[in-house]
């Protein structure tokens, strides 16, 4: 299966430009599955965020138009029940294949977005895709939950700042190694009022090997995925069978022990 990561510059608030640029980049690849950056239509334009947020159905229609016959994933500002969510949509020509609302909000995001409440998979092209967004990368329990739900490939859309770029690759590789799955991570490039973004999007194999890596500028990063390789790796190195999540939850009082880390 051919896949592609569209590493692009996102212009805050300029939906027309961003959609047009995504369409231009999409026209250069015949990949079956394509991943876009976090909030690729709007960026983190906080002053206009609520005005730019749309119901999921309207975003889905726009993304389906971009996708054509391929699978397309990226995040958008979703207006739902009067609240705004940072939402990953996975669509193809037939409809929506997965929806995930960002669980872990970083810094100023907490003032503008509502947190999601569910872990989510998408089902497309015979593959189980785990869904994640940027700051989620620092929380291994989300990736382990996706793995136990059956994820073979985890998609990560991001706007990861250049000052923490080294963390980006290390954590992507760690999440792949821990869960013996592919991790595909799409970062943006350029800068906005808050940060500079250094690209560095990458695809990581179930063994933690980087099979494709982008530079700093706009780029369509193409590579081959072999989802059946995930099952082969998990059979040859069955570490997941030895995991004991229920043991750790019991040590934490069914999860209540996490409260000790709350400021």
Q: Would you please indicate which residues are annotated as catalytic (active-site) residues?
A: 38, 102, 134
| Distance spanning both ends of the chain, measured CA to CA | 45
b vs e for 184-213, b when ≥16 Cβ sit within 10 Å of the residue's Cβ? bbbbbbbebeebebbbbbbbbbbeeeeebb
> Taking a C-beta distance cutoff of 8 angstroms, is the pair 208, 173 a contact?
yes
Burial, 140: exposed, middle or buried (Cβ in 10 Å; 0-12, 13-18, 19+)?
middle
The half-sphere exposure of 71 on its side-chain side, counting CA atoms within 13 A, is: 21
- d(Cα 11, Cα 46) in Å, to the nearest integer? 13
Beta strands in 45-139 (DSSP E): 71-80, 83-92, 95-101, 121-124, 127-133
Q: Outline where the chain has alpha helix (H).
A: 15-26, 49-52, 56-67, 109-112, 140-148, 165-179, 227-236, 245-251
The half-sphere exposure of 10 on its side-chain side, counting CA atoms within 13 A, is: 33
């Amino acid at each position: 299966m051919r896949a592609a990561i569209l590493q692009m510059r996102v212009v805050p608030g300029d939906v027309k430009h961003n959609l047009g640029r995504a369409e231009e980049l999409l026209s250069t690849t015949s990949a079956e599955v394509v991943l876009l950056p976090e909030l690729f239509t709007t960026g983190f334009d906080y002053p206009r965020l609520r005005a730019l947020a749309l119901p999921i159905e309207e975003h889905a229609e726009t993304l389906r138009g971009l996708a054509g016959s391929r699978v397309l994933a990226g995040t958008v500002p979703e207006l739902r029940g009067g609240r705004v969510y940072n939402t990953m949509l996975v669509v193809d020509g037939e409809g929506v294949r997965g929806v995930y609302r960002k669980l872990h909000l970083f810094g100023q995001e907490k003032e503008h977005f509502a947190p999601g409440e569910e872990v989510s998979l998408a089902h497309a092209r015979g593959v189980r895709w785990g869904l994640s967004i940027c700051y989620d990368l620092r929380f291994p329990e989300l990736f382990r939950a996706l793995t136990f739900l059956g994820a073979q490939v985890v998609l990560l859309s991001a706007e990861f700042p250049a000052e923490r770029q080294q963390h980006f690759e290390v954590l992507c590789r760690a999440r792949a190694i821990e869960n013996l799955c592919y991790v595909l991570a799409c970062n943006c490039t350029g800068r906005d009022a808050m940060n500079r973004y250094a690209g560095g999007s990458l695809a990581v194999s179930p063994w933690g090997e980087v099979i494709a890596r982008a530079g700093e500028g706009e780029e369509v990063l193409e590579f081959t995925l072999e989802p059946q390789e995930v099952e082969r790796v998990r059979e040859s190195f069955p570490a997941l069978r030895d995991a004991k999540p229920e043991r750790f939850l019991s040590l934490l009082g069914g999860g209540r022990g996490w409260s000790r880390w709350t400021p």
